[in-house]
Structures are given as C-alpha cells and as structure tokens.
Structure 1
Amino acid sequence: MNILVFGATGSQQFNVIEEAKKKGAEVIAATSSEKSFEKLAKAGATPVVANLSDVEKINEITKGVDAIAFLIPVSLPNPFDGLQYAKNVIDAAKTNGVKKIVWNTSGWLESQKVGSPVDDVKLDVQEYLKNSGVDYVIIEPTIYMENMMGPFCAPFISNEKKLAYPTPEAMPIGWIASRDVSAFVVEAIYNESLKADNFKISGLQNLKGNELASEFSDGVGETISYYPQKPQEFGEIMKPMVGEAGASSVAAYYENLQNSKEYPSKFNPEMNGILEKLPVEMTSLSQWASDNRDFFIK
C-alpha cells in the first residue's frame, strides 16, 4: 500500500506516517519545503516537495499511489484557496486511479454555510469530493488536545498552574489526541468497505473546564486549575500568528460563546459504533497529559 500524506509536517497529520508504517505501508509525505525532509525521513516517510497550487507536480506525485491522506492547510492567507488546492488533489487522484482519499477536516463541518470563509470552503470541498467518483472517507475531529500546547495555554500551565482556554467552564468538550485522529485516518484507508463515509469523531470523555483541569492534573501530577481565558486576552496572544483581523475574528467568536447559554456540541456519544468500524485505542486526557508532562512542567 502506497499512501501519500499531505500536511505531514504539522501535528494533525504527522502521526499518520507512523500509524501507516505500522500497517506496512510505504508513505510519501508532501511538503512545501526541503527543510522538513529530515523530520519526515526520520519518521519513515519519503519526502517530496509539492506545492498544492502546482497542478503538474500534484499529478506527478500522485502516480502509483493507492490512497491519499489529505488536509487543507489551516492558516491559508486566502481561505478560499483551499477549494482549488483540494480540487487539484482530487482531480489528480481521479486521473491516476487512486483508490481512496481520506480527508481530515480539522474540525466538525457545519451543516450549512455560516459566513466564515474557513468553514464555508470546507462544505464546497465536501461537495466536490462526494461528486468526484473517487472513494472517500471524511474524518471530522473535534478539538485537539494539542491545542493546549499553544502559546495561549501552555505558558499559563507552566508559570501559573492554570489551564487557560477561551471556552466557558460550563461548556463540555470531547477533546481528542492528534495521534488518535491519525489512527482513524489510517484505519479508514485500510477498511475496504468504506467508500463514501463521514465520521464525526471526538474523545470518549465530555469534559467541562474544571473536569478538564482535574484530568490534566492527574496526568501531570500537579494541581492545575481551569482558567476561562478572556477572549480579548486570547486574541492578543494570537495576533502575531494570525494577524489582527484573524485574531479579532476568533476573539469575537469566543466572546459570543462566553455570552451564550447554549453551547455547540463538541462530543459524539456514538463513538462506540464508530470504533467498531475503525478500531482505534483511544487516549484519555490524563494519559495524554502524562505523556506530554515535560512540555508543560518545567
């Protein structure tokens, strides 16, 4: 099995390499820069430079591939470019007889367009993929545990023993580890009965803020309290990374969330049924925190 992985240099898809290697796959990892070659090769992949906008190159590296693990880059300067990039990959897959595309959507898809370019473009990609004629599986993960490693959270844990996140304490979330998502992607590639399927996946624990902090505390062996971060504080920290407009937009989203009495669902209570089709050993929040203790506790 030859598997082509997009986004393998980032935390969302990097573990696809190891999970695919466990199955005996040959892995090709596309990257936009040769600077990532050493990291990808060390993980067991064959790295290739390929820009998603380069139709000819995408077509070239897709030849001889059995399956594609796809991801739209998270922070595109123009989110609408994601649709064209996805079309380039899907078209190349169809031309070269790729058996299956498994798309990690980096979050649950909306049921309809909501006026957010990042979210809305994914619905266009979904429609294009469904109509492509290529077998596909769409994996929709909830919020990643790895988000807690971000600059808006990790320094608060290390310096103040506070788990900072801009969601209300009362809002439950089914946090999921990126390694688990990668395992779902690989299982979906190998399950030949899945040809046109969507799975909304989450962790098995639906944790409110104080419960999250308690699980995290158990994992790292330190008492960590939950800190519902003020959206503006979160936005200021994010500004250097996503720009002023992007930071303001995200801060406004969390502001609305904190003023709301009803919260969007971030947990799938039907995970046991999904695990029957895609057998993945799930990671608890406390286990994840224990595995990453040295990152947070200095």
Structure 2
Amino acid sequence: MRILVFGATGSQQFNVIGEAKKKGAEVFAATSSEKSFEKLTQAGATPVLANLNDAAKILEITQGIDAIAFMIPVSLPNPFDGLQYSKNVIDAAKANGVSKIVWNTSGWLESQKVGSPVDDVKLDVRDYLKNSGVDYVIIEPTIYMENMMGAFCAPFITNEKKLAYPTPEAMPIGWIASRDVSAFVVEAIYNVDLKADAFKISGMENLKGNDLATQFSKGVDEEIVYYPQKPNEFGDILKPFVGEAGAASVAAYYESLQNATEYPPKFNSKMNEILEKLPVEMTSLAQWAHDNKNYFIK
C-alpha cells in the first residue's frame, strides 16, 4: 500500500505516518518546504515537494498512489482557497486511479453553511468529494488534546497550574488525541468495506472544565485547576500566530459560547459502534497528560 499524506508536517496528520508504517505501508508526505524533509524522513516517510495550488504537480505526485490521507491546511490566508486545493487533489486522485481518499476535516462539519468561510468551504469540499466517483471516508474529529500545548494554554499550566481554555466550565467536550485521529484515518484507508462513509469521532470521556482539570491533574501528578479563559485574552495570545482578523474571528466564536444557553455537541456517545468498524485503542485524557507531562511540568 502506497499512501500519500497531506498536512503531515503538522500535529493533526503527522502521526498518520507512524500509524501507516505499522500496517506496512510505504508512506509519502507532501510538503511545500524542503525544511520539513528531515522531520518527515525521520518519521519514516518519503517527502515530496508540492504546493496544493499547483494542479500539475499534484497530478504528478499522485501517480502510483493507492490511498490519500488529506487535510485542508488550517490557516489559509483565504479560506476559500481550500476548495480549489481540494479539487486539485480529488481530480488528481481520480485521474490516477487512487483507490480511496480519507479526509480529516479538523472538526465536526456543520449541517449547513453558517457564514464562516473556514466552515462553509468544507461543505463545498464534501459535496465535490461525494460527487467525484472516488471512494472516500470523511473523519470528523472533535477538539484535539494537542490544543492544550498551544501558547494560550500551556504557559498557564506551567507557570500558574491553571488549565486555560476559552470554553465555559459547564461545556462538555470529548477531547481526542491526535494519534487516535491518525489511527482512525489509517484504519479507514485499510477497511475495504468503507467507500462513501463519514464518522464524527470524539474521545471516550465527555469532560466539563473541572473534570478536564481533574483528569489532567491525574496524568501529570500535580493539582491543576480549570481556568475559563476570557475570549479576548485568548484572541490576544493568538494574534501573532493567525493574524488580527483570524484571532478576532476565533475570539468571537468563543464569546458566543460564553453567552450560550445551549452548547454545540462535542462528544459522540456512539463511539463504540464506530470502533467496531475502525478498531482504534483510544487514549484517555489522563494518559495523554501523563505521556506529555514533561512538556507542561518543568
């Protein structure tokens, strides 16, 4: 099995390399920068230089590929570019006889367009993929545990023993580990019965803020308390990474959650049914925190 991975330099798709290698796959990883070659090679992939906006190059690198693990880049200056980039990959896959595309959507898809370019474009991508004639599986993860490693959270844990996140304490979330999502992607590639399927996945624990802090504390063996971060504070920390407009947009979303009487679902209570089709050993929040203790506790 020859698998081509997009987004492998980032935390959301990097573990696809290792999970695919466990299955004996030959893994290729697309990157737009030669600076990533060493990281990808050390992980066991063959790096290939390509930009998603270069349709001819995408057509070239998908020759001889059996399956594609795809993800739209997270921070596009123009989110609507994500549709054309996706079309380039899907069209190339169809032209070259790629047997399956597994798309990690970086979040649960909305039921309809909501006026957010980042979310709305994914619905267009989904429709294009469904109508392409290529076999596909869509993997929709909830919120990554790795988000806690971000600059808006990790320093608070390290310096103040507070787990900072801009969601209300009362909002439950089924946090999921990046490695688990990658394992779902790979299992979906290898399951020949899945040809036009979508799965909303989450972790196995539906944790409110204080519960999250309790499980995190167990993992790092230190008392950490939940700190419901103010959206504007979160946005200010985020600005250097995603720009002022991007930070304002994200902060506005979290501001709406602070005032909500009903929270959007971030947990799938039927994960056991999905695990029957895609057998993945799930990571608990406490186990993840334990595994990454040295990142947070100096």
TM class, shorter-length: over 0.9
Separation of aligned partners in 2, 1:277 and 1:131: 24
| Residue-pair matches, total | 298
Aligned equivalents of 1:222, 1:61: Cα separation in 2: 48
CA distance in 1, matches of 2:183, 2:243: 33
Cα deviation code 1:50-101 (max 9, x no counterpart): 0000111100000000000000000000000000000000000000000000
| Aligned-residue CA RMSD (Å) | 0.4
Structure 1 gaps, min length 5: none
1:169 aligns with 2:169: yes
Aligned to 2:134: 134
Give 5+ residue unaligned stretches, structure 2.
none
Aligned counterparts of 2:211 and 2:18: Cα–Cα separation in 1: 31
Map 1:83-232 onto structure 2 (within 5 A): 83-232=83-232
Q: Runs (4+) of structure 1 moved beyond 2 Å? A: none
* SS of 1:5 mapped into structure 2: strand
Q: SS of the residue aligned with 1:53? A: coil
Shift of 1:242: 1.1
Q: TM-score, normalised by structure 2?
A: 1.00
Aligned residue for 2:148, secondary structure, equals helix
**How big is the shift at 1:234?**
0.3
* Cα distance in 2 for residues equivalent to 1:231 and 1:70: 31
> Match for 1:206: what amino acid?
N
The CA deviation at 1:249 is 1.2
Match in the other structure for 2:20: 20
Percent identity, please: 84
Q: Distance in 2 between matches of 1:149 and 1:32?
A: 24
- CA-to-aligned-CA distance 1:244-265 (integer Å, 9 cap, x gap): 1111111111111011111000
Q: CA–CA distance in 1 between the matches of 2:258 and 2:156?
A: 20
Superposed CA deviations along residues 236-293 of structure 1, whole A, max 9, x for unmatched, are 0001111111111111111110111110000000000000000000000000000000
- Alignment match, 1:295: 295
Mapped pair 1:274 → 2:274: yes
The farther-off stretch of 197-206 and 245-254 is: 245-254
**Which residue number corresponds to residue 2 of structure 1?**
2
Q: CA deviation at 1:216?
A: 0.1
Q: Determine helix, strand or coil for the equivalent of 1:223.
A: coil
Indicate the residue corresponding to 2:63 in structure 1.
63
- Give me the whole-angstrom Cα distance separating, in 2, the residues matched to 1:50 and 1:262: 43
Query: Distance between the aligned counterparts of 1:100 and 1:212, measured in 2?
Result: 36
Within the alignment, does 1:252 sit opposite 2:242 as a pair?
no
Q: Report the AA paired with residue 86 of structure 1.
A: S
2:246 partner letter: G
Distance of 1:20 and 1:68 partners within structure 2:
11
- Matched letter for residue 15 of structure 2: N
| Counterpart for residue 284 of structure 1 | 284
Aligned to 1:35: 35
The Cα of 1:5 is off from its aligned counterpart by: 0.2
- TM-score, reference length from structure 1: 1.00
Query: Match of 1:211, SS?
Result: helix
